[in-house]
Structure 1
Amino acid sequence: MSYLESLRVFVRVVELGSITSGGRDLRMSPAVASNRIKDLEARFGVRLLNRTTRKLVPTEVGRAFYDSARRVIETLDEAEAVVSGFSGTPHGSIRVTAPLGLGRRMLAPLVPQFCTEYPGVEIRLRLSDRNVDIIADGIDLAFFLGEPQDSALKWRRIAECRRVLAATPDYLSVQGVPEQPEDLAQHNCLLLRYPRSPEYFWMLQTPTGQQKMMVSGRFDADDGDVLTDWALAGQGIVNRPRYEVAEHLASGRLVEVLPECPPVPAQFGVLTPHRRLQDPKVRMFTDFVARELRNAF
């Protein structure tokens, strides 16, 4: 078993680029993870990793070994999935990622409930509004708002998530209330952006069909909750999932902008890697989340 654990450590270290990150991902200290790598190198009498100024990279033999080791781990995981499917008692970890707001408000509260029902399962939840490389990061499930672009991944639609444009009454009293989509060009639009994000636009539903509006603003952030905070501070117009700002709309702290031309709803769903056999625990967690959140938006 220690050899297989060492293989898992090596694979994650290569994928994440450092012993610290690889060890943390597998819930072990950097010292333990480093010893696992040393054990492998001693076993084969070759160097598997080289350190650059920024990260660890595999040597030529390390790269070849990584490709084979990853296949071994994937085969082992599939074998365990078969056994779990027959036993009906799932066990092991599920790596899950989701956008920050969705993860905090919708997904995180469901994790204890699922793990109570299936105590042999561990959920490793990683929240980020940035794009995540599902394959490279070893993600089992990526809950997603929007339209998937990667054809190498499986997409399961769960629900339609309504969105809303909103701002404070004070902001609108000073800057004016947009009466048509084109008026947004004169406003400070609060933008969700991250490094290498594409040109920014909002898609609106209008009486004549969908309309692509190029928008701009003085502030942008890669955390949607920050945008909501800026909107509440009277700094501009925000485009957010309705469920995330519903309490502020109900209290009057925010008011809906262009209610007759709301943003096009986002698709809420889950992305999974293409595999010959889906692990039953992954399918069970997906079904559980779909059942609990299908009517939440």
Structure 2
Amino acid sequence: MQYVDCLNVFVRSVDLGSITSGGRDLRLTPAVASKRIKELEAHLGVRLLNRTTRSLTPTEIGKVYYDHARSVLESIRESEAAVAGFSSAPRGTISVVAPLGVGRRLIAPLVPEFVAQYPEVNIRLRLSDRKVDMLADNLDLAIFLGELRDSNLKFRKIASCERVLCASPKYLASHGHPKTPGDLLRNDHNCLLLRYPRSPEYFWTLQGRDGPERLEVAGRYDADDGDVLTRWAEEGWGIANKPRFDVAEALANGSLVEVLPDTPPVSATLGCLYPHRRLQDPKIRLFLDFAVMRLKETLFAGRR
């Protein structure tokens, strides 16, 4: 029995609520993942999981074992990180999560470049505009764009990113150009909103003439994918609030037009979140330094 592999499958299956999902997260087939769980239960002589066709939950013994298993896996990870400092080349897997637009346009191009320099490192890149739990999802780094709230994670700022309100010429011809932030609250304007369960973005904050102005905007369309909002804006369905880098091409080719340029949205902070202990791993520290350097080059390239 590959004991550490079995521990990994067990912990991820509990985290994700199914053996299939736990195995998929570790790049194992459902059959192999199920076999690992059975081997672990046979080795321990107890049932760790209650399985039904619709759910998977740990038994009382399984709950106790889960806590210890997570601790063991974290200790192994820290031990490997300590030893990695003496290796001639970094190796292993780095799990990174990023918002969809940031991930597609800024982070994804960096991954092949980094792996070309360090071929024994694997990068697992997850893209999501939803809030993630780094510790529960066993992530090493999270690229963050927005307003940083209280967090028990370490944070490294990369840049302040300008945001813009934008809409298509078709939409503006039909609904008119807003003249003031308050115009966005009129019923004849449709604001495209990034929303998902427990989303904090139910309002827009603009740089008003007398300071930040918070607007509880509304609209008939919302989505949990920022690229969908951009597409809707280009098709003439409303006004979107987007990072400038995310819609730079659309602004340049005229498919989107900047709205209220004198009172734009407040800038968003782009940075990286990580559990403090993860940065003790040389490969994670290398990727973070590399990503910060390359992102600054990309974002500030046109400002020199």
- Matching of residue 49 in structure 1 with residue 49 in structure 2: yes
Q: Aligned residue for 2:302?
A: none
Deviates more, 1:268-277 or 1:30-39: 268-277
| From 273, 279, 291, the counterpart of 1:271 | 273
Q: Distance in 2 between matches of 1:228 and 1:221?
A: 11
TM-score, normalising length: structure 2: 0.94
Gap change, CA 1:20 and 1:270, over 3 Å in 2: same
TM superposition shift of 1:52: 4.4
Counterparts of 1:198-209 in structure 2 under 5 Å?
198=200, 200-209=202-211
- CA RMSD across the alignment: 1.5
Q: Distance in 1 between matches of 2:76 and 2:65?
A: 16
Q: Aligned residue for 1:242?
A: 244
Equivalent residue letter for 2:274: T
Instruction: Give the secondary structure class of the aligned counterpart of 1:294.
Output: helix
Q: Aligned residue for 1:11?
A: 11
Output one character per residue of 1:118-162: Cα deviation in whole Å (capped at 9) or x when no partner.
111111111011111111111111101012335221111111111
Q: Aligned residue for 2:34?
A: 34
TM superposition shift of 1:88: 4.1
8 A Cα contact 1:159 1:267, kept in partner: yes
Counterparts of 1:96-111 in structure 2 under 5 Å?
96-111=96-111
8 A Cα contact 2:222 2:229, kept in partner: yes
- Matching of residue 185 in structure 1 with residue 185 in structure 2: yes
8 A Cα contact 1:85 1:280, kept in partner: yes
TM superposition shift of 1:274: 3.4
Gap change, CA 1:292 and 1:150, over 3 Å in 2: same
TM superposition shift of 1:276: 7.5
Gap change, CA 1:277 and 1:245, over 3 Å in 2: closer
Counterparts of 1:94-133 in structure 2 under 5 Å?
94-133=94-133
Unaligned 5+ segments in structure 1 are: none
TM superposition shift of 1:277: 6.0
Counterparts of 1:116-195 in structure 2 under 5 Å?
116-186=116-186, 187-195=189-197
Q: Aligned residue for 2:84?
A: 84
Instruction: Give the secondary structure class of the aligned counterpart of 1:131.
Output: coil
Unaligned 5+ segments in structure 2 are: 300-304
Q: Distance in 2 between matches of 1:296 and 1:210?
A: 28
Output one character per residue of 1:8-66: Cα deviation in whole Å (capped at 9) or x when no partner.
11111111111111111111111111111111110111000112454211111111111
Instruction: Give the secondary structure class of the aligned counterpart of 2:115.
Output: helix
Q: Distance in 2 between matches of 1:145 and 1:218?
A: 25
TM superposition shift of 1:197: 2.2
Q: Aligned residue for 1:59?
A: 59
Instruction: Give the secondary structure class of the aligned counterpart of 2:158.
Output: strand
Q: Distance in 2 between matches of 1:199 and 1:230?
A: 18
TM superposition shift of 1:251: 1.2
TM superposition shift of 1:275: 2.4
Equivalent residue letter for 2:284: V
8 A Cα contact 1:152 1:274, kept in partner: no
Q: Distance in 2 between matches of 1:263 and 1:277?
A: 33
Equivalent residue letter for 2:222: D
TM superposition shift of 1:295: 3.9
TM superposition shift of 1:199: 6.3
8 A Cα contact 1:163 1:265, kept in partner: yes
* Deviation >4 Å, runs of 4+: none
Q: Distance in 2 between matches of 1:207 and 1:52?
A: 59
Q: Distance in 1 between matches of 2:89 and 2:66?
A: 31
Output one character per residue of 1:105-130: Cα deviation in whole Å (capped at 9) or x when no partner.
11011101101111111111110111
Output one character per residue of 1:146-180: Cα deviation in whole Å (capped at 9) or x when no partner.
12335221111111111100011221122111111
Gap change, CA 1:181 and 1:49, over 3 Å in 2: same
Gap change, CA 1:263 and 1:230, over 3 Å in 2: same
Q: Distance in 2 between matches of 1:276 and 1:252?
A: 44
8 A Cα contact 1:185 1:215, kept in partner: yes
